[in-house]
């Protein structure tokens, strides 16, 4: 369905996404995790032909076999109308505040599928039901500001699903949702991907949502993919220190719940303009080696059957399981 080779997003003389390769077949579900600023949204926008002005994309993006890397805005617009859809991270800015939500979601149906107003209305109602928007009939008439944050997010999801896309890119779709609704949405995405053979790129920092929704997983950091593999195996036995850090920072409900400090990864994602020359994670990593600052680690096979770019994986002291010693 979609195939990406050597994709980079250039910002001045640095890159927000660096030489990414990925492919998602019909009915496949790929997840992307990583801290904010690691390039997830830029990657998604590149796949939509929507990177902001001033940024440039190179590499190959093939959708259904067609190379879109040099495509015009008109071609991209046609793909966006019919094949690929995106659920944006920013619900408020993606919804026109002056229009009723029923009209917002009906519009692509009227324009691109040419169905009657009445059929469009029925379809919108069905979408609202599926995404768990309560009291759908009345909600059609409401404006975005009259909905709660989680309800607005679900309107966006309904909008993205309206035209039966063959590739859906979901950027943090469940972040604003409580656990019950998030479960419902991830179940819905999995079901749609199965039933309609929809390819899904699911971007999230919610590791439990990712593990429920996706089969394969990319971990991004500083514009690079630092680890990849089968979601289940990768999360069960992470090889990259960054992946382990993300997993341990996750709050959990424990026996003696109450205020307590969480383990964190020190510092923040470095700015694109002062990335360390070797491993991008150097300086924040608790297992750093002398070689790390200066030399970029190459991808190596991991215990979980995937790849990770970390010098620990090439250490001679590494034991048989491939797990580097603590």
Partner 1 sequence: MKQSLLSVENISRHYRLPRRRLLDRQPVLTAVDGASFQLQRGETLGVVGESGSGKSTLAKMVMAFERPDQGRVLFDGSDINELSAAALKQIRRHFQMVFQDPFGSLDPRRKVGWSIAEPLRAMATDDLSQINDRISATLQQVGLQARDADKYPHEFSGGQRQRIAIARAIITHPALLVADEAVSALDVSVQAQILNLLMDLKQELGLGILFISHDLAVVASICDRILVMRNGRIIETGPTAQVLTNPAHEYTGTLLVAAQI
Q: Given candidates 7, 17, 140, 147, which one binds ligand ATP under the rule CB under 6 A?
A: 147
When CB distances are held under 5 to 8 angstroms depending on the partner's kind, the choice from ligand ATP, ligand SF4, ligand ADP, none that residue 285 binds is ligand SF4
Task: For residue 277, state whether it binds Mg ion (rule: CB under 5 A).
Answer: no
When CB distances are held under 5 to 8 angstroms depending on the partner's kind, the choice from ligand ATP, ligand SF4, Mg ion, none that residue 241 binds is ligand SF4
Task: Give the closest residue to 159 by CA, choosing from 176, 145, 173.
Answer: 173
H helix or E strand, kind and range, residue 309: strand 307-309
When CB distances are held under 5 to 8 angstroms depending on the partner's kind, the choice from ligand SF4, Mg ion, ligand ATP, none that residue 34 binds is none
- E-only strand ranges, 37-191: 56-63, 66-67, 84-87, 167-171
* Residue 233 CB partners (closer than 8 Å, separation 6+): 304, 305, 306
Minimum distance of ligand SF4 from residue 183's CB (angstroms)? 33
When CB distances are held under 5 to 8 angstroms depending on the partner's kind, the choice from ligand ATP, partner 1, ligand ADP, none that residue 136 binds is none
Q: Given candidates 7, 87, 282, 303, which one binds ligand SF4 under the rule CB under 6 A?
A: 282
Task: For residue 94, state whether it binds ligand SF4 (rule: CB under 6 A).
Answer: no
* Residue 238 CB partners (closer than 8 Å, separation 6+): 227, 244, 247, 304
Tabulate helix, strand, coil % of the chain (nearest 5). 35, 20, 45
Minimum distance of ligand ADP from residue 46's CB (angstroms)? 9
Q: Given candidates 172, 216, 224, 227, which one binds partner 1 under the rule CB under 8 A?
A: 172
Minimum distance of Mg ion from residue 106's CB (angstroms)? 25
Minimum distance of ligand ADP from residue 174's CB (angstroms)? 15
Task: For residue 96, state whether it binds partner 1 (rule: CB under 8 A).
Answer: no
Q: Given candidates 173, 241, 245, 278, which one binds partner 1 under the rule CB under 8 A?
A: 245
Q: Given candidates 148, 268, 314, 315, which one binds ligand ATP under the rule CB under 6 A?
A: 148
H helix or E strand, kind and range, residue 209: helix 207-213
- CA separation for the pair 262, 292 (Å, rounded): 26
Residues of span 260-289 touching ligand ADP by CB under 6 A: 272
Q: Given candidates 70, 74, 98, 259, which one binds partner 1 under the rule CB under 8 A?
A: 259
Minimum distance of ligand ADP from residue 41's CB (angstroms)? 3
- CA separation for the pair 277, 283 (Å, rounded): 11
Task: Give the closest residue to 172 by CA, choosing from 152, 194, 153, 158.
Answer: 153
Sheet holding 2-11, edge to edge: 14-24, 2-11, 56-63, 66-67
How many residues does this entry show for the chain? 326
* Residue 126 CB partners (closer than 8 Å, separation 6+): none
Contact residues: ligand SF4, CB under 6 A: 240-241, 279, 281-282, 285, 287-289, 292, 297, 310-312
Contact residues: ligand ATP, CB under 6 A: 145-151, 178
């Amino acid at each position: 369905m979609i195939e990406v080779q050597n994709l980079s997003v250039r910002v001045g003389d640095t890159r927000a996404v660096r030489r990414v390769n990925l492919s998602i077949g019909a009915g496949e579900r790929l997840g992307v995790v990583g801290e904010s600023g690691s390039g997830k949204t830029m990657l998604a926008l590149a796949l939509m032909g929507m990177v902001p002005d001033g940024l440039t994309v190179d590499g190959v993006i093939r959708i259904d076999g067609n190379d879109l890397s040099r495509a015009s805005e008109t071609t991209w617009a046609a793909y966006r109308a019919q094949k690929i859809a995106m659920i944006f991270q920013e619900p408020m800015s993606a919804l026109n505040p002056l229009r009723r939500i029923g009209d917002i979601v009906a519009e692509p149906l009227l324009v691109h599928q040419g169905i009657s107003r009445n059929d469009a209305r029925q379809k919108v109602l069905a979408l609202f039901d599926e995404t768990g928007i309560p009291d759908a009939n009345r909600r059609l008439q409401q404006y975005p500001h009259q909905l709660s944050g989680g309800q607005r997010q679900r309107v966006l999801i309904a909008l993205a699903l309206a035209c039966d896309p063959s590739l859906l890119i979901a950027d943090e779709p469940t972040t604003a949702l409580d656990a019950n609704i998030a479960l419902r949405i991830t179940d819905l995405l999995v079901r749609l991907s199965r039933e309609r053979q929809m390819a899904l790129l699911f971007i999230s920092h919610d590791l439990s949502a990712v593990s429920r929704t996706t089969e394969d997983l990319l971990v991004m950091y500083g514009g690079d993919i630092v680890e990849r593999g089968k979601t289940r195996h990768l999360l069960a036995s992470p090889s990259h220190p960054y992946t382990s850090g993300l997993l341990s920072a996750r709050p959990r409900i424990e026996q003696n719940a109450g205020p307590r400090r969480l383990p964190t990864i020190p510092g923040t994602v470095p700015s694109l303009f002062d990335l360390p020359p070797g491993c991008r994670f150097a300086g924040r990593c608790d297992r750093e080696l002398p070689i790390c600052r200066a030399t970029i680690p190459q991808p190596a096979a991991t215990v979980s059957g995937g790849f990770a770019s970390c010098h620990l994986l090439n250490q001679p002291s590494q034991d048989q399981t491939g797990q580097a010693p603590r």
